[in-house]
Amino acid sequence: MWKAVVVDDEPKIRRGFGRWIQEYGYPFKFVGSAANSQETLELTDNKDPHFFFLDIRIAESNGLELAKLIKSKNPKAILVMVTGYDYFEYAHEAIKLQVFDYLLKPVPKTDFFKTLENIDKALRIQYPDLEINKNYYENKNYSLLVQKVMEHIHDNYYKSDLSLEKIAKNFNINKSYLSTLMKEELGYSFKEYLTRVRIKKAKELLKEDLPGIKMYEIVLKIGYQSQHYFSRIFKKYEGVSPLDYRNKYIK
């Protein structure tokens, strides 16, 4: 996982950014925060972070000078400079230092998450041989995370309350990130993939012609609550109603 450090002399900012990183979850790990240069350099040595959110102005220090020190220890470290409007001129200097990006306070959560997505893309390029990337291309180009999510869906498709939100929470990852990842790798949204799994299982049950099993019982077994809704979805995917499909295999 990509390890992150937050550097700011405001405790509220440190806690807030740290909480957002934890909320976003995979592939990021919040490994610590610092209020000054000494704490930052100690974290750099002890935790070996991949990237930093670094306030341009911190107590008793210049964030830009600290950025140079971090880069001297780890040239690959990604630095995102954080500044208030009063220090906008420092942001331009930060760009000259080839920092990755800068954010203006107060930082919207959406901007913060977008920055995390960009950091993930950049780090995958910087560290192509890292385990996180090795797993990314295994098993038909499915990442390890997507493989685990697929397994989870196959194990829990029968639960009517199975949702993207619950799976994201279960894997401690951001819902939007998971949705995007599934669409990119599988070619399906979460909802469509779950529907395909359920329809496949329904076809198996319909073919088996289990003694005494009713259509509504099959509906419940695959995670749906409405027989009408199931029939409509089934016909959309298979071109025939569940009853016609069943009759096709029952003599």
Check: CB of residue 16 under 8 Å from CB of residue 108: no
Supply the pTM of this predicted model: 0.56
Q: How many CB atoms are located within 10 Å of the residue 165 CB?
A: 12
pLDDT value, residue 137: 40
CATH code at position 22: 3.40.50.2300
The residue with tokens 């203006």 is 104
Question: Which residues pair with residue 7 across a beta bridge?
Answer: 34, 54
What are the CA-CA distances from residue 141 to residues 36, 136, 148, 182 (Å)? Answer: 42, 7, 13, 12
Number of domains in the chain: 2
Instruction: Tell me how far apart the alpha carbons of residues 21 and 31 are, in angstroms, rounded to a whole number.
Output: 10
- Based on the fold, state whether residues 160 and 249 are members of the same structural domain: yes
132 within a domain of the structure (yes/no): no
Of 79, 97, 126, which residue is a domain's last? 126
- Based on the fold, state whether residues 69 and 170 are members of the same structural domain: no
- Domain holding 199, by residue range, is 138-251
- Based on the fold, state whether residues 150 and 207 are members of the same structural domain: yes
- Based on the fold, state whether residues 11 and 104 are members of the same structural domain: yes
Q: What is the pLDDT of residues 54-76, one digit of tens each?
A: 998 886 677 788 998 998 899 89
Listed residue (20, 5, 13) closest to 176, CA to CA? 20
Q: Confidence class of residue 132 from pLDDT cuts 50, 70 and 90?
A: low
Of 126, 146, 173, which residue is a domain's last? 126
Which DSSP string do the residues of 183-198 spell out, in sequence order?
HHHHSS-HHHHHHHHH
Q: What is the pLDDT of residues 84-117, one digit of tens each?
A: 765 556 656 666 667 898 888 899 988 998 899 8
